[in-house]
Structure 1
Amino acid sequence: MSLDNALTDPEADIAAPGALLNRVDRAAVFLMLLGDDEASGLLSRLAPDELERLGAAMMGLREIEQPHMAEALADFAGEAAREMLPMRGRNDRVRMLLDKALGPARADSMMQRIEPDAPPRSVELAKWLAPGVLVRLILDEHPQVIAALLLLIDPEPAAEVLAMLPLELQTLVVERVAKSGAISQAAIGTLDTLLTQRISATYGTAALMLGGPRDAANLINLAAGEVRNSVLPAIAERDAPLAERIEEELFTFEMLYQLDPMSMGRLLRDVDNTKLVDALKGLPEPDRAPFFAAMSSRAADGVRDEIELRGRLAKSEVAAAQKAIVETARALADAGEIVIGGGSGEFV
């Protein structure tokens, strides 16, 4: 049943004629029939007043007999009949549940059985890799394998990969592309296994992970309108730590490179000079240019000298300094004094 409906209904504490329990009590019984993880997950989404109301109902229930449980389940079934479970995201949710129940290895195997037409992870990741990276991964493979990969990625990067291959290999690959028909799922699976091994060996298993707070933040940064102001509060209601991690990624130090000189100058007025030196110490000279462009020549030369004189810094010290500057920029952006972002997805 929908807990929201049960807890926001002003008459939910009144049992209907012929009913054993009111709606709040039925919701309480239903929750007590769930496993601990499922019940706590639902409770975490409630507002304090809703949680108090439902918690009081759970504490106030006497012996819960079979007719009470049947009534609670029937109420759930009635609510479900009026709602719809969206298809979007179903694959990810099933994978998450299987990962939790079986572990990653067995979950992967089960997903391949129940979702045979799903694009393999590594093949999908290959579409995002630069052509030069792909060439290094597949250069010593059979021409048929290379041909299959080129047919599965977009034409432009496929053509770049082809151009980077040795001439004799180019001929063999193009010949096999011309003769190829439909690529079987077995062949795609073999290619996926190969790419998984090569990517893991070259870049580590973390390279196979897609998504995460940074990707979510990038989507928000690029989206038009007030996506940030509507999406993040909604996520925070369900998962406050996740919303905080996305929020941290929305303002990245790299975004400061795009500030115009006036905004950069305003930011630098509030930045401690030692923090600035530490933050710039970890950057190549081209990335320092937007900061120096907002200073006088004398001030920029002074900062350059301090960077040269600064001793060796741990990466963590550089990251801490950059984070402090990002926090200052965030505060100025929230106050409307500078603008971070650009294009139709701009936010202030």
Structure 2
Amino acid sequence: MAASALTAANAADEFDSLPGPQRAALFLLLLGEQHGKPIWAMLDEEEVRSVSHAMVQLGTVDASTVERLIVDFIQRLSNSSVSGSVERTEQLLMKVFPADQVAIIMAEIYNTSGKRIWTRLSQIDAEILANYLRSEYPQTVAVILSRVRPDHAARVLTMLPDDFALDVVNRMLKLETVQKEALHHIEETLRLEFVGAVAQTAKRDAHEAMAEVFNAFDRQTETRFLSALDDLNRDAAKRIRQLMFTFEDLTKLDPASAQTLIRQVDKTVLCKALKGSPEPVRTFFLGNMSSRAAKNLNEEMESLGPIRIKDVDEAQLAMVNLAKELADKGDIMISKNRAEEELIY
């Protein structure tokens, strides 16, 4: 026991006496060529020189001292927090890989994270977004609103002070290509300061969640539950009906959006959905197709023969879900409010 304690004490003394460069040198010797090479690549010229000199002077190191080095490293690592960011990642990669390779990797990262930010921003309540943008520079707001869905940008603009909104609109009209660095900075700021905070604090309206549940019901179940809810809580039933997006609501799509949906949906799904739809809905979709395509679809619907209501409901739900996905991407515009569809002559 005494000898063991003495050995441990000697190891501790030897380890404590090792200067930083020699500790680094010892650690790199332990890692060897294969695992140590990436670390060598991250050192600048002066650091390589310092560690190399320390390595030459190291001599033979006792196994217990080596063990002490590893334990010390693990303790430091476990007590340290690690923070990752776009800037930190790019700096690290630049020390390991050629600049042109890093540029390709970072471009992919920026494009992926950037797309997610703008999609998420288009889903955040317009009033919440407007309140955040009030304190930003008009030029920054112009860049942000130029990249979210047009219908969402319109709602946000109506909630901003008139003079401020007009300044933003004027800047959006004059907006030229935004430098990548500036755009990346805006995206990173939005991700860190706004989108993440909203995701953590926002409470979802229970009626919105229930409307999505009702959207997933087949037609008979939906009718049964809404009728029962009418008797229990008429206001809640009314609110859910307003929030629900049904297959019939697809007739509110503008022609360009309707045609985009038709191009994206599987033709078998479209055929089943329209075969069981009311005549006005069928007329709407056929009217947004070429004469030849409409004729072919009518012939395909006739050739289907009788189909189950369940198959129709599934096809119509698939079209509704696809429409929502396309709207989230900004490929089409969805309006739930019938008042928005009224025309003024």
TM-score by length of 2: 0.30
Structure whose CA Rg is larger: 2
TM-score by length of 1: 0.30
Q: Which has the higher contact order (CA 8 A, sep 6+)?
A: 2
